[in-house]
Amino acid sequence: HDEYHEHDEL
Amino acid sequence: MNIFRLAGDMTHLASVLVLLLKIHTIKSCAGVSLRTQELYAIVFATRYLDIFTSFVSVYNTFMKLVFLGSSFSIVWYMRYHKAVHRTYDREQDTFRHWFLVLPCLVLALLIHEKFTFLEVLWTFSLYLEAVAILPQLVLLQRTRNIDNLTGQYIFLLGGYRGLYILNWIYRYFTEPHFVHWITWIAGLVQTLLYADFFYYYFLRFIGGRGVE
């Protein structure tokens, strides 16, 4: 899956 | 985006605004730890490097810019604005904050999800955010008299952490494969440190003026 996609929080 | 996450972000934003209000209008940073604020500036600078490489939403990018800008401007005010700097409790704010940075960096190099530059720095920012409040906690214990705005700042920061945990619980049950051990454990440690903060915050209001 997209490498940085999970960092959708601040 | 769920209601807990949004409420958490708004609480976080409110905490920063309260701090900026205190610094801007009262020209005072009494009771505020510059070392904690410097750690937050490092936290946001290392976490939001992905602002250049990944786009989640206009909301995310906007909030990242707000947190970056506000954290660095708070540090600037406390260090270089004459009237604000005069109110800084320099003698009390002596926590060796650099001793927190190095262990967090080593830990991020050892324990991470992926060994890439951005990912290790992102993990480092999670570990550092978890302990960044410690200099503020020490300063609070030393100064004893905290004013309303400082108290509200701390209260809002704690609320932000608590709401993020509710957000993770919600996401765990509503989104498939939403498992982020590093984020959760670092967030839990951070929230427990804030629980200590709340203890002093409530003592301040229950017991009147001082924190014993």
For residue range B106-144, what is the model confidence (pLDDT) as tens digits?
Answer: 999 999 999 999 999 999 999 999 999 999 988 988 887
Query: What value does the mean pLDDT of chain B take?
Result: 92
Listed range (B26-35, B64-73, B97-106, B199-208) with the worst mean pLDDT:
B199-208
pLDDT of residue B134: 93
Residue B114 to residue B50: CA distance in whole angstroms: 15
Q: Are B28 and B153 in contact (CB under 8 A)?
A: no
Amino acid A4: pLDDT: 43
Give the model's confidence band at B186: pLDDT under 50 very low, under 70 low, under 90 confident, else very high: very high
| Residue tagged 């940073």 (tokens) | B29
Residues of A in contact with B119 (CB under 8 A): 3-4
Question: In Å, how far are A2, A8, B53, B55 from A5, measured between CA atoms?
Answer: 5, 7, 11, 9
ipTM tops the 0.90 cut? no
Q: Would the pLDDT of B210 be above 70?
A: no
Q: Which of A4, A5, A10 sits opposite B9 (nearest CB)?
A: A10
Beta-carbon separation of B122 and A7 below 8 A: yes
What would the two tokens of residue B170 be? 């919600």
Residues B138 and B95 sit within 8 Å (Cβ to Cβ): yes
Of B167, B72, B173, the closest CA to residue A8 belongs to B167
Is the Cβ–Cβ distance between B44 and B129 less than 8 Å? Answer: no
Q: Name the minimum distance, in Å, from the CA of A8 to any CA of chain B.
A: 6
Cross-chain residue pair A9–B118, CB shorter than 8 Å: no
